[in-house]
Structure 1
């Protein structure tokens, strides 16, 4: 091989081994976003946090002193309210008692109370006494002292006696031993009556048989035409 030829081959080898020149990066088209490598060496910008966006501090336990003061204030208010209610209730109760005392003349009018008490005792003696030989006396007493629903009540109470009166020849005597005027309000009154009753029979098969018993009842009275009439009879569980 000639020298010229060998020189030409060596030159081609050197050119082939020589690195290619760097190619400039083509500029991206307009409007294209180029991704940023997060791992590059470019320093990152620090973002300042607004005070309004800072995390709120963790809640702390309630102040024991403040809770205690609130409790004491609540108890004081409750005490005041209860005291006010108690005072109002006491005033209302006294007012009702005063009204009752004012309306109930049995507490303020001894003369009228004595009148009611006397007429109630007289009526009970007559209404609950019976003589088989003189039934008209009892009938007259009922017409004289009874009014309203007391008429039917008295008839019911006396029915057992009347059913056996003629056969047993019964005589019933009622005597009021004590009484108390519970109230008098205007033309109405109520009297509690205690009485003794004796019952005897003159029939041949029950000669001289006698029974004694005590009785307690309350009578309501109404004042009409100058007299106190029995308007209701309460035997405390009886008819």
Structure 2
């Protein structure tokens, strides 16, 4: 009897030990672990900015974390701000460029309207040389006088003078004409230097330096006197390329 009870108790102990081992092998999931077989769980974690947990055994591996919702909202606001302000900035640039173009055009017009910019004496050497050459020849012909050939002086006055210069020239040579026949006077004028002050279209102004010699041959011995003159002449261009003297300014000193 005792032997049979002993066998029964032993079988019960062995059965309990086997059940304990089976229970130990079926350990429930550790606390704190998240199940990875929940549908959509990984996408939710990504959307909420959490790190994704890789399913399966082994150590956990952290994947790249997405932007924080607040940062994403800030970035979206910046993008919207840039998209709104870009056309505004472009419009401002267009307005500024237009204003600059208008200012440049106005400045160019003012420069072109400036008398200095219109002065061809500063920009056109060929025209300046032309005016200087014709002025020298005209002054020499107009202010030279020979008592024996008065027609040359009269011809020069009729072809090389215009406007108020006609009367000015007549007044300046009036005393010479009055004495020329009695004193057998010969007056010679030579331009020694000249400077073109201005050429504006068909008008010009020239500063003239000249030497004059006056010879009297009526006496037993010819007498010659010398003088220097400085004056300005205004010129106008007539038909062709001929420049005529329209005004004479002797600075109040006479010829």
Secondary structure in 2 aligned to 1:147?
A: coil
1:208 matched to which residue of 2?
A: 222
1:231 matched to which residue of 2?
A: 246
Gaps of 5+ in 1: 1-91
TM-score of the two chains, using structure 2 as the length reference: 0.55
Aligned partner (choices 167, 173, 194) of residue 188 of structure 2 = 173
Gaps of 5+ in 2: 1-106
Residue 154 of structure 2 is aligned to residue 113 of structure 1: no
Distance in 1, Cα, partners of 2:181 & 2:194: 32
Distance in 1, Cα, partners of 2:225 & 2:207: 24
TM-score of the two chains, using structure 1 as the length reference: 0.58
1:29 matched to which residue of 2?
A: none
Residue 208 of structure 2 is aligned to residue 193 of structure 1: yes
- As a proportion of its length, which structure holds more helix? 2
> Shift of residue 109 of structure 1?
0.4
> Shift of residue 101 of structure 1?
2.4
Over the aligned positions, Cα root-mean-square deviation in angstroms equals 1.9
* Alignment map for 1:122-201 (pairs within 5 Å): 122-201=137-216
Higher relative contact order (Cα pairs below 8 Å, separated by 6+ residues) = 1
Secondary structure in 2 aligned to 1:204?
A: coil
Aligned partner (choices 199, 218, 230) of residue 232 of structure 2 = 218
Secondary structure in 1 aligned to 2:162?
A: coil
Distance in 1, Cα, partners of 2:174 & 2:238: 27
